[in-house]
Structure 1
Amino acid sequence: MHRERRREVLALALPILGGMASQNLLNLVDVWMVGSLGPAALAATGLANFLNFMAVAFITGFAPAVQAIAARRIGEGRAAEAAAPLNGGLLLSLAIGVPLSAALIAATPAIFAALVADPAVVREGVPYLQWRLVAIAAIGINFSFRGYWSAVKRADYYLRTLVTMHALNIVFSYTLIHGLFGLPRMGTAGAGLGTTLAVVVGTALYVYLGLRHARPHGFLVQRPTPEQFRSLLRIGLPSSVQQLLFSAGFAVLFWIIGHIGTEALAVANVLVTITLTAVLPGIALGIAAATLCAQALGRGHADEAQRWAWDVYAVGIWIFGALALPMLFATRPLLAVFVREPALIELGVLPLRLVGATILLDGLGLVMMQALLGVGAARLVMVVATALQWGLFLPLAWLLGPVLGLGLTAIWIAMGGYRLLQAAIFTWAWQRRDWARIRV
């Protein structure tokens, strides 16, 4: 691969990766801030964060659609229309997010009461989640902007805005949790409000940047046509459904592992945390591939589009290899960062090594999945990902774990197999090039 192509991949992928990494760092800071309020507050916000993740999963699925269409317009030389899908994404975020927020805020007390028996956890969790749910529409808007900035190769705007949001979140949340500067001491509710305020400020920053840099592309000027809306929905809805079912699948997985035992559930939480952190480079590189492939296809160069996905993966191999090394050769020290009991560390050794052994091919699957989304093959991605997760892996996990009693390692072998099969199918689909005929 030419040095110029490598630089182009890294220039696009690194800001996205930086933004995603900052989100993980913020999650750790949030745990630290809320942890001072006691175990009930920590448990409540942990559950609430997962519920909020499921609540916003659907609305964030429109970001790949915005990116795919905007990048295609750039490639076609129709830059003046590139912000039309962004405008559509903003309208859909408001139309879906506002009523969804209202409905879920009203239902939050019942949801917590159904899931948690401890009144203290319910008392801490309900106001925190309600404040977080206020921001659903704003999160949808922010993700639409991420898709647009990625499509026009200005992912640095995404990184800058996200880092600003995270810094403000720390200030807002810490101030409201502890009631500094004469403000009321709100506890966990203050943490939720602080995060929502930071998200809204981020939305305002995105709009400001859009007005400064995206007006020539039609930002808030060009109204999406019915055909453009249909294209946005045709790509966005499958992606949204996939995101929702993917997040719900983790809830089912934890429920399954909970039937094995508390120790297995504790280790599984650590394994999932490490795995989701390790796949961030694959997602960031995949988003870069989506833009590069879509722009090439817009120029009518299907061969170049196909080659871009492989060039992106060639850059990622070194990153995936570096991530695999500690999982394979420093497994116990890595697990010891999260758990102290020697028995729990031993329980997680083989599953974590399996993650390390498969991350190179799992990374290939992530790059190919995002590339397929970038060229408009969202329905294929949804069908494959959902069928493998819900039709194969989760039933197999139930059989191997609670039914046959083979434990956590057997479930992680099944997970590795399902992820490798998914990577193989996405790679096969990419090589078939049926996507070259998709119009967006």
Structure 2
Amino acid sequence: MKQRVTTILKLGTPIIIAMLSQSLLNLVDAALVGPLGKEALAAVGAASYANFVALSLVAGLSAGVQAQVARRFGAGNSRFCATPVNHGIIIALFFALPVSFLLMLLAPWILQIFNQGELVHDTAVTYFRIRVMSLSAAALCLSFRGYWNGTGRPSGFLRILVVSHLFNALVSFCLIYGIGPFPAMGVAGAALGTFLAMYLAALLNMFSLLGTAKDHGFMDFRFLLKRDFKQTFRLVRLAVPDSLQQMLFSFGFMMLFAIIAQMGTSELAIAHVLMNISLLLILPGIGMGMAANTLVSQSLGAGKPDKAWRWGWDIVMVAASVLLVLSLPLLFAPEFLLGLFLHQEALVEMGKIPLQLTGMSIFLDAASLVFTQALLGAGANRTVLGIRAAGQWLVLLPLCWLVGPVLGLGLTAIWLVQALQRLISSLAFVMVWQTRKWERITV
């Protein structure tokens, strides 16, 4: 068991750090924009969740590419391991780029859902328009991440991500406040810094894989000359259910944010911070799940379904332990954490109990986070879609609307509902994993 835990941590730790690093994009913006006032923070929150929905349109690329790469790697077919990345690049250029232009034009209507006044709305539109133009860079990075994780080398992606996020923090700070030769752009500067960091990460990944994955078929686009798009469509079939479930998940988050917006600007600003901390906290679980994606896919590719099943449960146990430890600061130092983003004592006090509830409930999410990714690695994308969509749209959102705007029970009641939804989703994923029907799926 010790050797298995070592394997999990060796593969999962770089993925976790990379996932945490990605989440810092939004947290850095929130921390830097916080001193500009609650209206600016609310605007960044509204635009961030709209951008979260936009990113979900291509989010399935990561798991799809990773599953295909890992299957080839597990079967010893390393010569063609990187070919799924090539198809991901095509999708990034011919789907993500046009969609980003369309969403930029639709921004004023999309963000009207939050209804927080002209100042917040106009600021949110500006932030969203800049951020959404990095959608194609995100699609490229997701494809590259699928290769790094699928071949069991997540540290390659991590190194690049750390560089790009350090760049983001520095440039965003300078653009927000007008440091040195940069103009003071406020919220727009935060968005522009993140935009530039995303494209830097895509370029660095491209150059890195040109040196390490050329022998694995990277950048071999001869299929375009032959007009053979079978592999592209296969990747699309794998990616669409995952993108759809992530779109429903992220759109659900945006709708939850819109529900909270009905309660006031203060609640909206607090919720933005709470949700970002919550998303940051679950990322180690998602990172462990992505390790499960690789180990389960490689085991199935090698014809060892029993080994794949055991990997799933072993990783759940490790993820639960990690999440338990990480939740402790939320339980015992909520004022300190909230004070990093909220600069009014009344706002910190309002967010204290919901943040503690996040720390207590995140442990319940371990099975859901790991088995989601493990099932994606096995190809059970539609099952994941069904469970995630039902939990969010049939349980979470209706109950949050009831206890929030309708009954006026406040943020604490909404965060209690989220804890209930996490428990239900985890139980559902455990039941699916135990049936082992996913063993017979081909990708």
**How far apart are residue 377 of structure 1 and its match?**
0.8
Determine helix, strand or coil for the equivalent of 1:77.
coil
Number of the residue aligned with 2:91 = 92
1: CA distance between counterparts of 2:348 and 2:200? 41
Note the residue ranges of structure 2 that are not aligned, 5 or more in a row: none
Aligned with 1:309 (options 296, 308, 312): 312
Alignment of 1:207 onto 2:206: yes
The equivalences for 1:1-400 within 5 A come to: 1-3=1-3, 5-35=4-34, 41-112=40-111, 115=114, 118-177=117-176, 182=181, 186-221=185-220, 226-260=229-263, 265=268, 267-329=270-332, 348=351, 351-400=354-403
- 1:174 Cα offset (Å): 3.9
Q: What amino acid is aligned across from residue 379 of structure 1 in structure 2?
A: R
Aligned to 1:421: 424
Q: Compared with structure 1, are the counterparts of its residues 360 and 211 closer, same or farther at alpha carbon in structure 2 (3 Å cutoff)?
A: same
- Contact 2:115 2:261 (8 Å CA) reproduced: no
Deviations 1:66-100 (A, max 9, x none): 11111111111211121121111111111111111
1:218-260 deviations in Å (ceiling 9; x for gaps): 1111656544223212220011111111111112212333445
Distance 1:171 1:408, change over 3 A: closer
**Structure 1 residue 23, shift from structure 2 partner:** 3.2
Report how far residue 268 of structure 1 moved: 3.8
Which is worse superposed, 266-275 or 276-285? 266-275
SS in 1 for 2:303: coil
1:12 CA drift (Å): 1.5
Code of the aligned partner of 1:280: L
CA RMSD of aligned residues (A): 2.9
One-letter code aligned to 1:385: R
Matching residue's letter, 2:141: N
CA distance in 2, matches of 1:284, 1:172: 27
Q: Which structure 1 segments of 5+ residues have no match? A: none
Does the 8 A contact of 1:87 with 1:223 survive in 2? no
1:291 deviates by 0.3
**CA distance, structure 2, for counterparts of residue 245 and residue 396 of structure 1:** 17
3-state DSSP of counterpart to 1:279? helix
TM, length-normalised to structure 1: 0.89
Shift of 1:261: 5.4
Farther-moved stretch of structure 1 (307-316 vs 332-341) = 332-341
Residue 342 of structure 1 deviates from its aligned partner by 7.3
Identity %: 44
User: Is 311-320 or 141-150 further displaced after alignment?
Assistant: 311-320
Equivalent pair of 1:235/1:377 in contact (CA under 8 Å): no
- Rounded to whole Å, the distance in 2 between the matches of 1:46 and 1:145 is 28
Deviates more, 1:232-241 or 1:407-416: 407-416
CA gap 1:428/1:20 in 2 versus in 1, 3 angstroms: same
Distance 1:356 1:74, change over 3 A: same
Query: What amino acid sits opposite 1:8 in the alignment?
Result: T
